[in-house]
Amino acid sequence: EIVLTQSPGTLSLSPGERATLSCRASQSVNSNYLAWYQQKPGQAPRLLIYGASSRATGIPDRFSGSDSGTDFTLTISRLEPEDFAVYYCEQYGYLPNTFGQGTRLDIK
Partner 1 sequence: QVQLQESGPGLVKPTQTLSLTCTVSGGSINSGSHYWNWLRQPAGKGLEWIGRVYTPGGTKYNPSLNSRVTISVDTSNNQFSLRLTSVTAADTALYYCARSSAHYGGTDSWGQGALVTVSS
| Residue numbers at the binding site for partner 1 (CB under 8 A) | 1, 33, 35, 37, 44-47, 49-51, 54, 56-57, 88, 90, 92-93, 95-102
Q: What order of strands is seen across the sheet that includes strand 19-25?
A: 4-7, 19-25, 71-76, 63-68
Which is closer to partner 1, CB of 24 or CB of 45? 45
How many CB atoms lie under 10 A from the CB of residue 23?
Answer: 29
Which is closer to partner 1, CB of 70 or CB of 102? 102
Which is closer to partner 1, CB of 39 or CB of 70? 39
How far apart CA 34 and CA 59 sit, in angstroms, is 16
